[in-house]
Amino acid sequence: MSPGRTGPVVVVGDVLLDLDVEGSADRLCPDSTAPVVDVDEEYARPGGAGLTATLLAGRREVVLVAPLADDRDGRHLARLLARRDNLRLIPLPWSGSTPVKQRIRVGGHTVARLDRGGSTGTIGDIDTRVRDAIATAAGVVVSDYGRGATRDARLRALLEDSARRAVLVWDPHPRGGEPVPGVTLATPNRSEALAATRTCHLTETTASQMAAALTRRWRAEAVAVTDGDRGAVLSFGDGTALLVPAQAVPGTDVCGAGDAFAAAAAHALAEGAPASDAVREAVVASGRFVAAGGAAAIGRHDPRSRSSAQEVLHVADGRDLDPVADLVASVRARGGTVVAAGGCFDLLHAGHVATLSAARRLGDCLIVCMNSDGSARRLKGPGRPVVRAADRRAVLASLECVDAVVIFDEDDPVAVLRRIRPDIWVKGGDYAGRRLPEAGVLAEWGGETVVVPRLEGRSTTSLVRAVQDGTDEPDILTKGA
Protein backbone atom coordinates (compact mmCIF):
# COMPACT_ATOMS: atom_id res chain seq x y z
CA MET A 1 0.00 0.00 0.00
CA SER A 2 1.32 3.44 -0.91
CA PRO A 3 1.03 6.37 1.52
CA GLY A 4 -2.34 8.10 1.58
CA ARG A 5 -2.80 11.56 0.14
CA THR A 6 -3.70 14.56 2.25
CA GLY A 7 -6.43 17.03 1.43
CA PRO A 8 -10.11 16.70 0.58
CA VAL A 9 -11.76 14.40 -1.91
CA VAL A 10 -13.61 16.36 -4.59
CA VAL A 11 -16.90 15.00 -5.94
CA VAL A 12 -17.88 16.27 -9.39
CA GLY A 13 -21.22 15.48 -10.99
CA ASP A 14 -24.97 15.90 -11.20
CA VAL A 15 -27.00 16.51 -8.04
CA LEU A 16 -30.63 15.56 -7.52
CA LEU A 17 -33.20 16.16 -4.82
CA ASP A 18 -34.53 12.84 -3.53
CA LEU A 19 -37.83 12.75 -1.64
CA ASP A 20 -39.31 9.73 0.12
CA VAL A 21 -42.95 9.56 1.15
CA GLU A 22 -43.45 6.76 3.68
CA GLY A 23 -46.92 5.51 4.41
CA SER A 24 -49.29 2.59 4.74
CA ALA A 25 -51.87 1.17 2.36
CA ASP A 26 -54.76 -1.01 3.44
CA ARG A 27 -57.48 -0.05 0.95
CA LEU A 28 -58.01 0.72 -2.73
CA CYS A 29 -59.41 3.81 -4.45
CA PRO A 30 -63.17 3.47 -4.88
CA ASP A 31 -62.90 4.36 -8.57
CA SER A 32 -59.89 2.18 -9.48
CA THR A 33 -57.58 -0.58 -8.29
CA ALA A 34 -54.91 1.88 -7.18
CA PRO A 35 -53.92 1.68 -3.51
CA VAL A 36 -54.67 4.57 -1.18
CA VAL A 37 -51.45 5.53 0.63
CA ASP A 38 -51.88 7.18 4.02
CA VAL A 39 -48.78 9.34 4.44
CA ASP A 40 -46.91 8.93 7.72
CA GLU A 41 -43.70 10.86 7.07
CA GLU A 42 -41.74 12.57 4.31
CA TYR A 43 -37.95 12.75 4.00
CA ALA A 44 -35.62 14.74 1.78
CA ARG A 45 -31.95 14.04 1.02
CA PRO A 46 -29.30 14.91 -1.55
CA GLY A 47 -29.20 12.49 -4.46
CA GLY A 48 -26.78 11.75 -7.29
CA ALA A 49 -23.40 13.34 -6.70
CA GLY A 50 -24.90 14.85 -3.54
CA LEU A 51 -25.38 11.36 -2.11
CA THR A 52 -21.83 10.33 -3.04
CA ALA A 53 -20.48 13.43 -1.30
CA THR A 54 -22.64 12.74 1.76
CA LEU A 55 -21.35 9.18 1.98
CA LEU A 56 -17.75 10.37 1.85
CA ALA A 57 -18.15 13.23 4.32
CA GLY A 58 -18.09 10.97 7.37
CA ARG A 59 -14.60 9.82 6.44
CA ARG A 60 -12.77 12.99 5.42
CA GLU A 61 -13.22 16.51 4.13
CA VAL A 62 -15.24 16.65 0.91
CA VAL A 63 -15.77 19.34 -1.70
CA LEU A 64 -18.80 18.94 -3.98
CA VAL A 65 -18.64 20.63 -7.39
CA ALA A 66 -22.00 20.40 -9.13
CA PRO A 67 -24.38 22.32 -11.40
CA LEU A 68 -27.15 23.76 -9.24
CA ALA A 69 -30.22 25.56 -10.55
CA ASP A 70 -31.49 28.67 -8.80
CA ASP A 71 -35.00 27.34 -8.31
CA ARG A 72 -37.00 26.27 -5.25
CA ASP A 73 -35.81 22.66 -5.37
CA GLY A 74 -32.23 23.76 -5.98
CA ARG A 75 -32.30 26.03 -2.95
CA HIS A 76 -33.79 23.21 -0.86
CA LEU A 77 -30.98 20.93 -2.02
CA ALA A 78 -28.34 23.55 -1.19
CA ARG A 79 -29.71 23.85 2.36
CA LEU A 80 -29.58 20.08 2.85
CA LEU A 81 -25.96 19.96 1.69
CA ALA A 82 -25.00 22.93 3.88
CA ARG A 83 -26.02 20.96 6.98
CA ARG A 84 -23.56 18.14 6.31
CA ASP A 85 -20.41 18.13 8.38
CA ASN A 86 -17.11 18.12 6.44
CA LEU A 87 -18.85 18.95 3.17
CA ARG A 88 -18.30 22.18 1.21
CA LEU A 89 -20.44 22.93 -1.83
CA ILE A 90 -19.12 24.84 -4.83
CA PRO A 91 -22.23 25.32 -7.00
CA LEU A 92 -21.92 25.80 -10.73
CA PRO A 93 -24.55 28.08 -12.31
CA TRP A 94 -27.03 25.89 -14.19
CA SER A 95 -29.59 27.16 -16.67
CA GLY A 96 -31.76 24.04 -16.42
CA SER A 97 -34.03 22.96 -13.58
CA THR A 98 -33.30 20.79 -10.54
CA PRO A 99 -34.14 17.10 -11.07
CA VAL A 100 -36.39 15.70 -8.33
CA LYS A 101 -37.15 12.03 -7.70
CA GLN A 102 -40.01 11.30 -5.33
CA ARG A 103 -40.58 7.73 -4.20
CA ILE A 104 -43.87 6.57 -2.69
CA ARG A 105 -42.99 3.79 -0.24
CA VAL A 106 -45.19 1.38 1.66
CA GLY A 107 -43.81 -1.20 4.07
CA GLY A 108 -40.25 -0.47 3.01
CA HIS A 109 -41.00 -1.01 -0.70
CA THR A 110 -41.33 1.58 -3.46
CA VAL A 111 -44.77 1.40 -5.09
CA ALA A 112 -44.39 4.42 -7.39
CA ARG A 113 -41.84 7.07 -8.37
CA LEU A 114 -42.65 10.59 -9.52
CA ASP A 115 -39.97 12.50 -11.46
CA ARG A 116 -40.02 16.19 -12.23
CA GLY A 117 -37.61 18.91 -13.29
CA GLY A 118 -34.22 18.10 -14.70
CA SER A 119 -34.61 20.10 -17.88
CA THR A 120 -31.45 20.33 -19.93
CA GLY A 121 -29.26 23.38 -19.59
CA THR A 122 -25.73 24.67 -19.69
CA ILE A 123 -23.11 25.39 -17.05
CA GLY A 124 -22.15 29.03 -16.50
CA ASP A 125 -18.76 30.33 -15.46
CA ILE A 126 -16.31 27.95 -13.79
CA ASP A 127 -14.35 30.05 -11.33
CA THR A 128 -10.95 29.57 -9.69
CA ARG A 129 -12.50 27.80 -6.67
CA VAL A 130 -13.30 24.82 -8.88
CA ARG A 131 -9.87 24.75 -10.49
CA ASP A 132 -8.09 25.07 -7.15
CA ALA A 133 -10.22 22.37 -5.50
CA ILE A 134 -9.58 19.82 -8.25
CA ALA A 135 -5.90 20.74 -8.53
CA THR A 136 -5.23 20.16 -4.81
CA ALA A 137 -7.54 17.19 -4.21
CA ALA A 138 -6.34 13.96 -2.63
CA GLY A 139 -8.75 12.28 -5.01
CA VAL A 140 -11.66 13.04 -7.31
CA VAL A 141 -14.92 11.14 -7.75
CA VAL A 142 -17.04 11.75 -10.83
CA SER A 143 -20.67 10.90 -10.10
CA ASP A 144 -22.38 10.98 -13.49
CA TYR A 145 -26.17 10.93 -13.62
CA GLY A 146 -26.46 11.88 -17.28
CA ARG A 147 -27.60 15.45 -16.65
CA GLY A 148 -24.78 17.21 -18.48
CA ALA A 149 -21.95 17.86 -16.01
CA THR A 150 -19.56 15.29 -17.50
CA ARG A 151 -20.07 16.56 -21.04
CA ASP A 152 -18.84 20.07 -20.25
CA ALA A 153 -15.53 20.51 -22.09
CA ARG A 154 -14.07 22.77 -19.39
CA LEU A 155 -14.76 20.31 -16.59
CA ARG A 156 -13.46 17.42 -18.68
CA ALA A 157 -10.17 19.26 -19.26
CA LEU A 158 -9.75 19.77 -15.50
CA LEU A 159 -10.58 16.13 -14.83
CA GLU A 160 -8.20 14.87 -17.51
CA ASP A 161 -5.41 16.88 -15.90
CA SER A 162 -6.37 15.51 -12.49
CA ALA A 163 -6.17 11.92 -13.76
CA ARG A 164 -2.47 12.40 -14.50
CA ARG A 165 -1.51 13.15 -10.91
CA ALA A 166 -4.21 12.01 -8.45
CA VAL A 167 -6.76 9.30 -7.76
CA LEU A 168 -9.78 9.63 -10.06
CA VAL A 169 -12.80 7.36 -9.66
CA TRP A 170 -15.47 7.60 -12.37
CA ASP A 171 -19.00 6.30 -11.81
CA PRO A 172 -20.42 6.46 -15.36
CA HIS A 173 -23.92 6.79 -16.78
CA PRO A 174 -25.21 5.71 -20.21
CA ARG A 175 -26.36 9.27 -20.97
CA GLY A 176 -23.18 10.90 -19.68
CA GLY A 177 -19.73 11.45 -21.09
CA GLU A 178 -17.14 8.71 -21.33
CA PRO A 179 -14.52 8.63 -18.56
CA VAL A 180 -11.47 10.74 -19.38
CA PRO A 181 -8.26 8.82 -20.19
CA GLY A 182 -6.18 7.75 -17.23
CA VAL A 183 -8.90 7.28 -14.61
CA THR A 184 -7.74 5.19 -11.66
CA LEU A 185 -10.97 3.20 -11.44
CA ALA A 186 -14.27 3.25 -13.33
CA THR A 187 -17.26 1.65 -11.57
CA PRO A 188 -20.16 0.92 -13.97
CA ASN A 189 -22.85 -1.49 -12.90
CA ARG A 190 -23.64 -4.41 -15.17
CA SER A 191 -26.36 -2.65 -17.19
CA GLU A 192 -24.20 0.48 -17.57
CA ALA A 193 -21.26 -1.64 -18.72
CA LEU A 194 -23.46 -3.46 -21.21
CA ALA A 195 -24.78 -0.18 -22.60
CA ALA A 196 -21.23 1.18 -22.88
CA THR A 197 -19.93 -1.86 -24.74
CA ARG A 198 -22.84 -1.74 -27.19
CA THR A 199 -22.27 1.97 -27.78
CA CYS A 200 -18.64 1.15 -28.54
CA HIS A 201 -19.79 -1.69 -30.87
CA LEU A 202 -18.19 -4.29 -28.63
CA THR A 203 -19.63 -7.78 -28.30
CA GLU A 204 -18.52 -8.74 -24.78
CA THR A 205 -21.33 -9.80 -22.47
CA THR A 206 -19.81 -11.31 -19.32
CA ALA A 207 -18.80 -8.97 -16.51
CA SER A 208 -15.12 -9.90 -16.81
CA GLN A 209 -15.12 -9.45 -20.59
CA MET A 210 -16.88 -6.10 -20.34
CA ALA A 211 -14.54 -4.88 -17.60
CA ALA A 212 -11.47 -5.78 -19.67
CA ALA A 213 -12.86 -4.25 -22.88
CA LEU A 214 -13.87 -1.02 -21.16
CA THR A 215 -10.50 -0.74 -19.42
CA ARG A 216 -8.87 -0.66 -22.84
CA ARG A 217 -11.59 1.47 -24.45
CA TRP A 218 -11.50 4.13 -21.73
CA ARG A 219 -7.73 3.88 -21.22
CA ALA A 220 -8.44 3.40 -17.54
CA GLU A 221 -6.05 1.86 -15.04
CA ALA A 222 -8.87 -0.46 -13.91
CA VAL A 223 -12.60 -1.05 -14.30
CA ALA A 224 -14.83 -2.71 -11.72
CA VAL A 225 -18.20 -3.90 -13.01
CA THR A 226 -20.61 -4.16 -10.08
CA ASP A 227 -23.33 -6.77 -10.19
CA GLY A 228 -25.58 -6.33 -7.18
CA ASP A 229 -25.50 -9.17 -4.68
CA ARG A 230 -22.98 -11.01 -6.86
CA GLY A 231 -20.30 -8.50 -5.95
CA ALA A 232 -17.92 -6.99 -8.50
CA VAL A 233 -15.43 -8.01 -11.17
CA LEU A 234 -12.20 -6.01 -11.38
CA SER A 235 -10.05 -5.91 -14.51
CA PHE A 236 -6.80 -4.17 -15.35
CA GLY A 237 -7.29 -4.95 -19.04
CA ASP A 238 -4.57 -7.60 -19.08
CA GLY A 239 -6.76 -10.64 -19.64
CA THR A 240 -7.20 -11.53 -15.97
CA ALA A 241 -10.07 -10.58 -13.70
CA LEU A 242 -10.55 -10.49 -9.96
CA LEU A 243 -13.96 -11.61 -8.70
CA VAL A 244 -14.91 -9.97 -5.41
CA PRO A 245 -18.02 -11.75 -4.10
CA ALA A 246 -20.56 -9.99 -1.93
CA GLN A 247 -21.84 -11.29 1.36
CA ALA A 248 -25.57 -11.86 1.46
CA VAL A 249 -27.19 -9.07 3.47
CA PRO A 250 -30.77 -8.28 4.49
CA GLY A 251 -32.39 -5.32 2.83
CA THR A 252 -34.37 -4.66 -0.33
CA ASP A 253 -33.70 -0.97 -1.01
CA VAL A 254 -30.63 -0.90 -3.27
CA CYS A 255 -31.06 2.77 -4.18
CA GLY A 256 -27.68 4.43 -3.71
CA ALA A 257 -25.65 1.21 -3.51
CA GLY A 258 -23.57 2.26 -6.53
CA ASP A 259 -22.84 5.61 -4.91
CA ALA A 260 -21.79 3.82 -1.72
CA PHE A 261 -19.48 1.60 -3.78
CA ALA A 262 -17.82 4.52 -5.58
CA ALA A 263 -17.46 6.55 -2.38
CA ALA A 264 -15.85 3.69 -0.47
CA ALA A 265 -13.49 2.85 -3.33
CA ALA A 266 -12.43 6.48 -3.69
CA HIS A 267 -11.70 6.83 0.01
CA ALA A 268 -9.63 3.64 0.07
CA LEU A 269 -7.65 4.67 -3.02
CA ALA A 270 -7.03 8.15 -1.57
CA GLU A 271 -5.73 6.43 1.57
CA GLY A 272 -3.19 4.58 -0.56
CA ALA A 273 -4.88 1.20 -0.97
CA PRO A 274 -4.37 -0.72 -4.24
CA ALA A 275 -7.37 -1.08 -6.53
CA SER A 276 -7.98 -4.70 -5.49
CA ASP A 277 -8.25 -3.77 -1.81
CA ALA A 278 -10.33 -0.70 -2.63
CA VAL A 279 -12.86 -2.81 -4.53
CA ARG A 280 -13.04 -5.35 -1.70
CA GLU A 281 -13.75 -2.55 0.78
CA ALA A 282 -16.31 -1.04 -1.58
CA VAL A 283 -18.19 -4.34 -1.94
CA VAL A 284 -18.43 -4.65 1.85
CA ALA A 285 -19.43 -1.00 2.26
CA SER A 286 -22.19 -1.14 -0.36
CA GLY A 287 -23.56 -4.34 1.18
CA ARG A 288 -23.65 -2.76 4.61
CA PHE A 289 -25.27 0.32 3.13
CA VAL A 290 -28.11 -1.80 1.74
CA ALA A 291 -28.41 -3.77 4.98
CA ALA A 292 -28.73 -0.52 6.93
CA GLY A 293 -31.74 0.54 4.85
CA GLY A 294 -30.12 2.03 1.75
CA ALA A 295 -30.59 5.64 0.76
CA ALA A 296 -33.98 5.74 2.49
CA ALA A 297 -32.28 5.47 5.88
CA ILE A 298 -30.37 8.72 5.37
CA GLY A 299 -33.37 11.00 5.27
CA ARG A 300 -34.89 9.53 8.42
CA HIS A 301 -32.36 11.23 10.67
CA ASP A 302 -31.36 14.84 11.27
CA PRO A 303 -28.48 15.42 8.84
CA ARG A 304 -26.72 17.66 11.36
CA SER A 305 -26.25 14.67 13.66
CA ARG A 306 -25.47 12.27 10.83
CA SER A 307 -22.67 13.06 8.42
CA SER A 308 -22.17 9.71 6.73
CA ALA A 309 -24.05 6.69 5.56
CA GLN A 310 -21.22 5.00 3.71
CA GLU A 311 -19.24 3.99 6.75
CA VAL A 312 -22.49 3.14 8.45
CA LEU A 313 -20.91 1.09 11.21
CA HIS A 314 -17.84 3.21 12.03
CA VAL A 315 -18.10 5.21 15.25
CA ALA A 316 -14.52 6.09 16.09
CA ASP A 317 -15.75 9.65 16.49
CA GLY A 318 -18.99 8.70 18.24
CA ARG A 319 -21.25 9.04 15.18
CA ASP A 320 -23.13 6.80 12.79
CA LEU A 321 -24.78 4.33 15.14
CA ASP A 322 -28.21 4.93 13.63
CA PRO A 323 -28.08 1.89 11.31
CA VAL A 324 -26.98 -0.30 14.23
CA ALA A 325 -29.88 1.13 16.24
CA ASP A 326 -32.17 0.16 13.36
CA LEU A 327 -30.80 -3.40 13.48
CA VAL A 328 -31.30 -3.56 17.25
CA ALA A 329 -34.84 -2.19 16.96
CA SER A 330 -35.69 -4.69 14.23
CA VAL A 331 -34.47 -7.64 16.29
CA ARG A 332 -36.28 -6.49 19.41
CA ALA A 333 -39.49 -5.86 17.46
CA ARG A 334 -39.47 -9.58 16.67
CA GLY A 335 -38.87 -10.42 20.34
CA GLY A 336 -35.26 -11.37 19.63
CA THR A 337 -32.08 -11.11 21.70
CA VAL A 338 -29.26 -8.70 20.89
CA VAL A 339 -25.75 -10.02 21.57
CA ALA A 340 -22.54 -8.00 21.52
CA ALA A 341 -18.88 -8.99 21.81
CA GLY A 342 -15.72 -6.91 21.80
CA GLY A 343 -12.00 -6.94 21.17
CA CYS A 344 -9.17 -5.85 18.88
CA PHE A 345 -9.40 -8.91 16.59
CA ASP A 346 -5.89 -8.28 15.30
CA LEU A 347 -4.76 -11.20 13.08
CA LEU A 348 -8.10 -12.98 13.29
CA HIS A 349 -7.52 -16.60 14.32
CA ALA A 350 -9.52 -19.73 15.12
CA GLY A 351 -9.96 -18.67 18.74
CA HIS A 352 -11.67 -15.45 17.69
CA VAL A 353 -13.96 -17.31 15.29
CA ALA A 354 -14.91 -19.87 17.94
CA THR A 355 -15.80 -17.11 20.42
CA LEU A 356 -17.86 -15.14 17.90
CA SER A 357 -19.67 -18.23 16.63
CA ALA A 358 -20.59 -19.20 20.19
CA ALA A 359 -21.73 -15.64 20.90
CA ARG A 360 -24.02 -15.56 17.86
CA ARG A 361 -25.74 -18.74 18.98
CA LEU A 362 -26.83 -16.97 22.17
CA GLY A 363 -29.19 -14.60 20.38
CA ASP A 364 -30.66 -13.28 17.14
CA CYS A 365 -27.93 -10.86 16.06
CA LEU A 366 -24.28 -10.28 16.93
CA ILE A 367 -22.73 -6.81 17.02
CA VAL A 368 -18.94 -6.76 17.32
CA CYS A 369 -17.44 -3.75 19.12
CA MET A 370 -13.91 -3.43 17.75
CA ASN A 371 -11.06 -1.25 19.05
CA SER A 372 -9.83 1.40 16.61
CA ASP A 373 -6.15 1.51 15.67
CA GLY A 374 -5.43 4.12 18.34
CA SER A 375 -7.38 2.26 21.00
CA ALA A 376 -5.66 -1.04 20.15
CA ARG A 377 -2.24 0.62 20.25
CA ARG A 378 -2.87 2.01 23.71
CA LEU A 379 -4.12 -1.37 24.88
CA LYS A 380 -1.57 -3.67 23.24
CA GLY A 381 1.48 -1.42 22.97
CA PRO A 382 3.76 -0.20 20.14
CA GLY A 383 3.65 -2.24 16.97
CA ARG A 384 0.00 -3.13 17.37
CA PRO A 385 -2.34 -3.50 15.74
CA VAL A 386 -0.66 -5.47 12.98
CA VAL A 387 -3.73 -5.09 10.78
CA ARG A 388 -5.39 -1.70 10.28
CA ALA A 389 -8.94 -1.10 11.44
CA ALA A 390 -10.52 -1.03 7.97
CA ASP A 391 -9.10 -4.47 7.14
CA ARG A 392 -9.98 -5.93 10.55
CA ARG A 393 -13.52 -4.67 10.09
CA ALA A 394 -13.76 -6.15 6.59
CA VAL A 395 -12.60 -9.57 7.79
CA LEU A 396 -15.02 -9.56 10.72
CA ALA A 397 -17.89 -8.39 8.52
CA SER A 398 -17.29 -11.33 6.18
CA LEU A 399 -18.03 -13.85 8.95
CA GLU A 400 -21.49 -15.35 8.70
CA CYS A 401 -21.98 -15.09 12.46
CA VAL A 402 -21.37 -11.30 12.53
CA ASP A 403 -24.28 -8.96 11.78
CA ALA A 404 -22.58 -5.60 12.40
CA VAL A 405 -19.20 -4.15 13.33
CA VAL A 406 -18.81 -0.98 15.38
CA ILE A 407 -15.39 0.65 15.79
CA PHE A 408 -14.78 2.61 18.98
CA ASP A 409 -11.84 4.88 19.77
CA GLU A 410 -12.08 4.91 23.55
CA ASP A 411 -10.00 2.64 25.81
CA ASP A 412 -13.06 0.52 26.59
CA PRO A 413 -16.44 -0.14 24.90
CA VAL A 414 -18.55 1.35 27.71
CA ALA A 415 -19.82 4.34 25.69
CA VAL A 416 -20.76 2.16 22.71
CA LEU A 417 -22.46 -0.41 24.95
CA ARG A 418 -24.59 2.31 26.52
CA ARG A 419 -25.79 3.32 23.07
CA ILE A 420 -26.40 -0.22 21.79
CA ARG A 421 -27.69 -1.62 25.11
CA PRO A 422 -27.25 -5.30 24.18
CA ASP A 423 -29.11 -8.00 26.07
CA ILE A 424 -25.95 -10.14 26.35
CA TRP A 425 -22.26 -9.11 26.40
CA VAL A 426 -19.87 -11.94 25.59
CA LYS A 427 -16.22 -12.40 26.56
CA GLY A 428 -13.82 -15.25 25.85
CA GLY A 429 -12.99 -18.00 28.33
CA ASP A 430 -9.82 -16.26 29.55
CA TYR A 431 -12.17 -14.18 31.71
CA ALA A 432 -13.64 -17.26 33.43
CA GLY A 433 -13.79 -16.81 37.19
CA ARG A 434 -13.19 -13.07 36.95
CA ARG A 435 -15.65 -10.24 37.19
CA LEU A 436 -16.11 -8.81 33.72
CA PRO A 437 -15.21 -5.10 33.55
CA GLU A 438 -18.43 -4.27 31.67
CA ALA A 439 -20.75 -6.20 34.03
CA GLY A 440 -21.75 -3.07 35.92
CA VAL A 441 -22.62 -1.26 32.71
CA LEU A 442 -24.83 -4.11 31.45
CA ALA A 443 -26.65 -4.12 34.78
CA GLU A 444 -27.85 -0.57 34.10
CA TRP A 445 -30.48 -1.88 31.67
CA GLY A 446 -30.81 -5.45 32.89
CA GLY A 447 -28.33 -6.98 30.46
CA GLU A 448 -26.15 -9.93 31.36
CA THR A 449 -22.51 -10.85 30.79
CA VAL A 450 -21.55 -14.29 29.56
CA VAL A 451 -18.21 -16.08 29.24
CA VAL A 452 -17.96 -18.61 26.40
CA PRO A 453 -15.37 -21.42 26.34
CA ARG A 454 -11.94 -20.46 25.05
CA LEU A 455 -10.18 -22.36 22.27
CA GLU A 456 -6.87 -22.99 23.97
CA GLY A 457 -3.52 -22.17 22.44
CA ARG A 458 -4.62 -19.37 20.13
CA SER A 459 -3.62 -15.74 20.52
CA THR A 460 -2.53 -12.88 18.30
CA THR A 461 0.42 -12.17 20.60
CA SER A 462 1.75 -15.70 20.06
CA LEU A 463 1.25 -15.46 16.33
CA VAL A 464 3.20 -12.19 16.19
CA ARG A 465 5.97 -13.64 18.35
CA ALA A 466 6.18 -16.74 16.15
CA VAL A 467 6.58 -14.60 13.03
CA GLN A 468 9.19 -12.38 14.69
CA ASP A 469 11.15 -15.38 15.98
CA GLY A 470 10.93 -17.17 12.67
CA THR A 471 9.83 -20.35 14.40
CA ASP A 472 7.32 -22.92 13.27
CA GLU A 473 7.27 -24.87 16.53
CA PRO A 474 3.63 -25.79 17.29
CA ASP A 475 3.93 -25.08 21.00
CA ILE A 476 4.86 -21.45 20.33
CA LEU A 477 1.17 -20.85 19.75
CA THR A 478 0.31 -21.99 23.27
CA LYS A 479 2.40 -19.26 24.85
CA GLY A 480 1.52 -15.62 25.28
CA ALA A 481 -1.55 -13.72 26.28
Residue 295's pLDDT is what? 82
Residue 240's pLDDT is what? 81
The pLDDT tens digits of the residues spanning 12-63 come to 999 999 999 989 998 999 988 888 999 888 888 999 999 999 999 878 899 9
Residue 13's closest CA among 65, 51, 55, 60? 65
Q: From 3.30.70.100, 3.40.1190.20, 3.30.429.10, 3.40.50.1000, which CATH number describes the 9-300 domain?
A: 3.40.1190.20
50 — phi, psi (to 5°)? -65, -35
Strand duo 338-343 + 365-371: pairing: parallel
Mind telling me the catalytic residues?
259
Residue 318's pLDDT is what? 37
> Cβ(131)–Cβ(107) under 8 Å?
no
- Residue-range domain boundaries for the chain: 9-300, 313-476
Residue 300's pLDDT is what? 57
Query: Which value, to the nearest 10 degrees, does the dihedral of the CA atoms of residues 2, 216, 258, 231 take?
Result: -80
The pTM for the full model equals 0.64
The pLDDT tens digits of the residues spanning 89-135 come to 999 999 999 999 999 999 888 999 999 998 888 999 999 999 999 99
Q: Mention the CATH class of domain 313-476.
A: alpha beta
The pLDDT tens digits of the residues spanning 232-252 come to 999 998 878 899 988 777 767
Spans of the chain, pLDDT less than 50: 1, 301-320, 432-433, 457, 473-481
* Long-range contacts, 279-282 (Cβ 8 Å, 24+): 279/185, 279/224, 279/232, 279/234, 279/242, 279/244, 280/244, 280/394, 281/390, 281/394, 282/187, 282/224, 282/232
- Count the neighbouring beta carbons within 10 Å of the beta carbon of residue 403: 24
Residue 170's closest CA among 55, 274, 259, 287? 259
